Amino acid sequence: MDLKDKTILITGSTDGVGRVVAQRLGAAGARVLVHGRDAARGKAVVAEIEAAGGRAEFFAADLASLTEVRRLAEAVRAKTNRLDILINNAGIGTAGAKRQISADGYELRFAVNYLAGFLLTSELLPLLKASAPARIVNVASAGQQAIDFSDVMLTHGYSGVRAYCQSKLAQILLTVDLAEELKGTGVTVNALHPASYMDTTMVRQAGVTPWSSVETGADAIVNLATSSALEGRSGLYFDGLRQARADAQAYDARARQQLRSLSLDLVGSASPEQKEQHS
């Protein structure tokens, strides 16, 4: 894909694999919209891309807040009239035994790893459709656990690993569901596990010795974002560079409908009683 006139938003691109992807796509000629929570790191990534002859801008937002997700979408729409590629990469790993909640009162990993991407994608779909052909890439994981719809927020039997794996499978359910919705629009959506235990802050915080490099993970993400071989292909899950099968729940239409209904409720104007029910 010729990236010269393409605009690409990458969430979580001030560190780890997201940073490498931003640098590569910027060097290839794309206009990169860098996202993160830390302004100093964001400006550093922008400076790196510009020093290499690329174009970049930084957008600050904490994806643990749905209000900030909406503000991010609004800021992107204010800065560009096109969005060719959206890469939902930001996330929280498995570290921590204590259950945490987001600014909106939801289990934190579900909120950041899945729900923020659900809302951001929804907010930016009109821009993506107007820029078609366009692509959405959801950076998920091979670590997947079926969603228990009776306790999505994991109020019982919580563990960081369980929360992470559930949130990552939720991303894949969204991918398959959204691919159906977007048929005929020119917008494709695919998900992937970039690489196992990359040398990232997330992996080190989990106390795991890295197995693979962020460069290997970046190869896989850039492939889904730009490969001509994936033109028009949608609703797929990749393990690295290889197409694979996700957990069976991803292909369960009823489960995907349950998740969509829940997600719309959670990002909507839920009453305090509804929030308490899901917290």
Give me the pLDDT at residue 277, please.
43
CATH code assigned at 103: 3.40.50.720
As a whole number of angstroms, the distance between CA 223 and CA 237 comes to 13
Assign 3-class secondary structure to 50-78: HHCCCEEEEEECCCCCHHHHHHHHHHHHH
Dihedral, 77, 168, 224, 215 alpha carbons, nearest 10: 100
Give me the pLDDT at residue 269, please.
46
Q: What does each of the 279 residues of the chain score in pLDDT, given as a tens digit?
A: 899 999 999 999 999 999 999 999 999 999 999 999 999 999 999 999 999 999 999 999 999 999 999 999 999 999 999 999 999 999 998 877 799 999 999 999 999 999 999 999 999 999 999 999 999 999 999 999 999 999 999 999 999 999 999 999 999 999 999 999 999 999 999 999 996 655 556 655 656 665 567 889 999 999 999 999 999 999 999 999 999 999 999 999 999 999 999 999 999 944 344 344 444
Residue 149 in domain? yes
Report the SS3 class of residue 112.
helix
Residue 2 in domain? no
Number of domains in the chain: 1
Among 191, 142, 172, residue whose Cα is nearest residue 259: 172
Dihedral, 234, 122, 15, 279 alpha carbons, nearest 10: -120
Residue 218 in domain? yes
Length of the chain: 279
Give me the pLDDT at residue 96, please.
72
Domain that holds residue 124: 7-278
- Can you say whether the dihedral through the CA atoms of 126, 134, 174, 159 is positive or negative? negative
Residue 219 in domain? yes
Q: Are 56 and 26 a contacting pair, CB within 8 Å?
A: yes
Side chain identity at 215, as an amino acid letter?
A: E
The single-letter DSSP state of residue 248 is G
Strands 55-60 and 187-193: unpaired
Give me the pLDDT at residue 203, please.
54
Tell me the whole-structure pTM to 2 decimals: 0.92
Residue 1 in domain? no
Residue 133 in domain? yes
Name the token pair of 133: 């052909």
As a whole number of angstroms, the distance between CA 276 and CA 105 comes to 8
Phi-psi region of 29 (alpha: psi -120 to 50; beta: other; left: phi over 0): left
Residue 244 in domain? yes
Give me the pLDDT at residue 196, please.
62
Q: Which positions are annotated as active-site residues?
A: 164
Give me the pLDDT at residue 188, please.
98
Among 90, 88, 66, 80, residue whose Cα is nearest residue 178: 88
Residue 57 in domain? yes
